[in-house]
Structure 1
Amino acid sequence: MVDAMGYTHRLGVITPSGNVVVERVTTALLSAVPGVSAHYARIAVRGAVDPFPDSYDMDGMLAAARLLADAKPDVIFWNGSKGGAIGLQHDRALADAITAETGIPATTSMLALAVALRGLGARRIGLATPFTSAYQQRLVAEFARWGCETVAETHAGLADNLSYASVPLAEIAAQLDAVAASRPEAILSVSTNFAGGLLAAEAERRHGIPVLDTTTVPLWWVLRTLGHDTAPLAERWGSVFSRKLPA
């Protein structure tokens, strides 16, 4: 259905309250996709202490999803990377709960990342993040459960959620270059408040290795699911956008 402003699809996006990257990157990416708009709800994620370190605040998530549902989006997704630390089963449960609550299809950044990795057949990964060493090791352990070996990793050592957005682009580029030296089959930029998605395509051209960013990969999944050809986005946002969804 086309609305009065000519839009055919609406995306409902749940983002952490301390996140300033998701909306900026999503707006920039969708500027090249006519007829698609994004609409946002935030949940409380602030500072360095997570009151739900091993799960989601399901009440908060579902409250955000219900508010987004009022706008009748075609899909709702959690644009956050926490599932990489607490386990993909929590993201599956979250997506199922959102759909059960709203009747709207749902996914998450990490579920989309798992789909992209499966499509690439990538088992040896490099990991670039803003996180602390302890949090990074949780990611490495979770990716191992996915069947992925982390052959190289680098992290900025930050714990405060808002601070992730402060990592300079030059430093992120250096992180991507550092893990590329080990020749992984894919490089993952993990944290949706970390601007790796802005540099993915450029890093791919330097190293010939796919770069998957947790802020942009769910947009690839959502747009493909809604029937959009994302191939024209690949030059700016990375080669994953040239790929169809795996069967």
Structure 2
Amino acid sequence: MDKPIRIGVLTPSSNTALEPLTSSIVSVIPGVTAHFGRFRVTQISLSDQALGQFDDSKILSTAELLADANPDVITWSGTSAGWMGFEKDALLCDRITERTGIRASTAILALNELLAIKKVKRLGLVTPYTSDVQEKIIANYAKIGIEVVAETHRQISVNFDFALVEPTDIESDLLQVSRAQPQAIVTYCTNLRAAHLADRFEFQTSIPLLDTVSTTVWGALRAVGADPAGIKGWGQLFEWK
């Protein structure tokens, strides 16, 4: 790679999973580094207080600080658009670029682009969320013509606690959802320790695993014109074009 690529990553304050996972993924490509900026997120629910954590003004303040590191892209490694509406992430990207002059991407916009590339209409969904949040996510995918044919969720609302779910338990959820034979399964939370499970799960089931930490990296690399296919060992999504 001729020029180093710096990826600026907007990160929920209580997230302990996405930083080590993201750094491990990008380390596969020489010259690519990830740099993180946190804003306060402690709870995932549909309460006004929890939804207010994702007010754009708070995220944009963090983006401005990340811009001091001169990243080539700023990406939001979070899944809030899943229950708040996909248009929220599209607007956020526009505002980040307007405020900083830096191109932007998000985990969910990248995920949805991947689903479109492979024409996925039958999706499996694995999350740690509560039932009402899960129902919102499922409804938003139905609006764009994607049916969630099987799902699991763990009724957790404390963001820090998502990272406490053991990878072996996530694997059990994945296998449960795989029985419905979806075209792809998403581990839909950037505080789940799941990205590294992709290769083994795909070998076992032949079903693509789209983890949202991984989709964040895929989208960020695409945004700067880099080829994600250089990333090996983290699932087949990095080869999708």
TM range (shorter): over 0.9
Q: Which runs of 4+ in 1 moved over 6 A?
A: none
- 1:3-43 deviation digits (Å, cap 9, x = unpaired): xxxx6111111000010111010111122111011111101
Over aligned residue pairs, what C-alpha RMSD do you find? 1.7
1:138 has 2:132 as partner = no
Query: Tell me, which stretches of 5 or more residues in structure 2 are unaligned?
Result: none
Which residue does 1:189 correspond to in 2?
A: 187
- 1:33-73 deviation digits (Å, cap 9, x = unpaired): 11011111101101456625278311111100100111111
3-state SS, counterpart of residue 14 of structure 2: coil
Identity of aligned residues (%): 39
Which residue does 1:169 correspond to in 2?
A: 167
Which residue does 2:150 correspond to in 1?
A: 152
TM (norm. structure 1) is: 0.92
Q: 1:239 aligns with which of 226, 230, 236?
A: 236
1:8 has 2:8 as partner = no
Which residue does 1:42 correspond to in 2?
A: 38
3-state SS, counterpart of residue 237 of structure 1: coil
CA distance in 1, matches of 2:91, 2:223: 20
Distance 1:68 1:243, change over 3 A: same
Which residue does 1:179 correspond to in 2?
A: 177
Which residue does 1:74 correspond to in 2?
A: 72
Which residue does 2:211 correspond to in 1?
A: 213
Within 5 Å, which residues of 2 pair with 1:99-114? 99-114=97-112
One-letter amino acid of the structure 2 residue matched with residue 221 of structure 1: G
Which structure has more relative contact order (CA 8 Å, sep 6+)? It is 2
CA distance in 1, matches of 2:195, 2:91: 26
1:62 has 2:60 as partner = yes
Instruction: Give the count of matched residue pairs.
Output: 239
CA distance in 1, matches of 2:223, 2:152: 32
3-state SS, counterpart of residue 228 of structure 1: coil
**Given that residues 11 and 74 in structure 1 are in contact (C-alpha distance below 8 angstroms), is that contact kept between their aligned partners in structure 2?**
yes
Which residue does 2:23 correspond to in 1?
A: 27
CA distance in 2, matches of 1:59, 1:226: 25
3-state SS, counterpart of residue 62 of structure 1: helix
- 1:152-173 deviation digits (Å, cap 9, x = unpaired): 0011221100000000011000
One-letter amino acid of the structure 1 residue matched with residue 236 of structure 2: S
3-state SS, counterpart of residue 28 of structure 1: helix
